[in-house]
């Protein structure tokens, strides 16, 4: 079930260059949120009609606190970065389908994040670790390291310049340390997801990918966020899936990258 509410700002901190951590107190959304879901955040400036989709970084059902981590990409997210404690912001959520955590039960898990795809892997790693699962977070950074100290599980790092961990990408890090897993969960840029899809296919490993697409409505009506599917939709007769409603998380064999 999704809710629309006025969330109260608890804190908004810059944790990297143009990257902000926003903590909100919610009435219902934090309690209902699952790892991999997102919320639509509305600007207070009425000139900006469309909400901005932001993935859920952390959600505490007991306190009702929701954490969003985002990069400034335009005027909407710039406005969010300037929110002050005590102010309110309209949000709708939780939206979309999250990661199927039951698929990991009793198995070795990779939680792989690249760039701004790292934040949603934090809540996933927390839930799986609390459930006693064997989780390795594999995190790929272009430059600045964010959220690294927040992960509750083993972490493996890849950086483009080699300043920390493996020089290269997340797959380079996995191969360098000779890691293996039974289930892969991942979020990040399309080239990374494409490489992971091929990697999982070659090893016959179950792989779930969270897609990052531009969205408008966030509820499946506008069709602006479709991705290519391996299956034909029964109603439209086309090979498309809506990222906002049928995703953002898909089994890697269901989508074409």
Q: What is the reported pLDDT for 224?
A: 63
- CATH number listed for the domain at residues 3-95: 2.40.30.10
pLDDT score of 204: 97
The ranges of the chain annotated as CATH 2.40.30.10 are 3-95
Tell me what pLDDT residue 102 has.
93
Q: What is the pLDDT of residue 44?
A: 87
**Torsional sign, CA 122, 126, 37, 15:** negative
Q: What predicted TM-score, i.e. pTM, was given to this entire model?
A: 0.93
Query: What element of type H or E holds 77?
Result: helix 75-81
pLDDT at 47: 74
**CATH class of the domain comprising 211-257:** mainly beta
* Regions in the chain scoring below 70 on pLDDT: 213-227, 232-239, 244, 247
Q: Which pLDDT score is estimated for 11?
A: 98
pLDDT of residue 257: 86
The whole-number pLDDT of residue 237 equals: 65
How much is the mean pLDDT over the chain?
91
Domain ranges in the chain with CATH number 3.40.50.80: 106-205
pLDDT tens track for 14-59: 999 999 999 999 999 999 999 999 999 999 887 787 899 999 999 9
Q: Tell me the CATH class for 106-205.
A: alpha beta
């Amino acid at each position: 079930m999704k809710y629309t509410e006025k969330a109260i700002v608890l804190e908004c901190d810059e944790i990297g260059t143009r990257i902000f951590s926003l903590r909100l107190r919610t009435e219902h959304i934090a309690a209902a949120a699952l790892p991999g879901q997102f919320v639509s955040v509305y600007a207070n400036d009425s000139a900006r009609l469309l909400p901005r989709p932001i993935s859920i970084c952390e959600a505490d059902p007991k306190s009702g606190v929701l954490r969003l981590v985002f990069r400034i990409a335009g005027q909407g997210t710039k406005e969010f970065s300037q929110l002050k404690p005590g102010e309110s912001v309209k949000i709708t959520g939780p939206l979309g389908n999250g990661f199927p955590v039951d698929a990991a039960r009793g198995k070795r898990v990779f939680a792989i994040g690249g760039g701004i795809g790292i934040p949603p892997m934090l809540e996933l790693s927390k839930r799986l670790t609390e459930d006693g699962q064997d989780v390795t977070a594999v995190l790929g950074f272009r430059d600045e390291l964010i959220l690294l100290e927040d992960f509750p599980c083993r972490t493996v790092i890849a950086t483009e310049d080699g300043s920390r961990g493996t020089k290269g990408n997340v797959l380079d890090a996995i191969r360098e340390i000779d890691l293996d897993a039974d289930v892969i969960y991942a979020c990040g840029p399309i080239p990374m997801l494409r490489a992971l899809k091929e990697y999982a296919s070659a090893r016959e490993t179950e792989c779930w990918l969270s897609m990052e697409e531009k969205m408008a409505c966030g509820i499946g009506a506008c069709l602006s966020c479709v991705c290519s599917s391996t299956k034909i939709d029964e109603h439209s007769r086309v090979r498309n899936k809506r990222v906002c409603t049928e995703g953002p998380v898909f089994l890697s064999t269901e989508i074409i990258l």
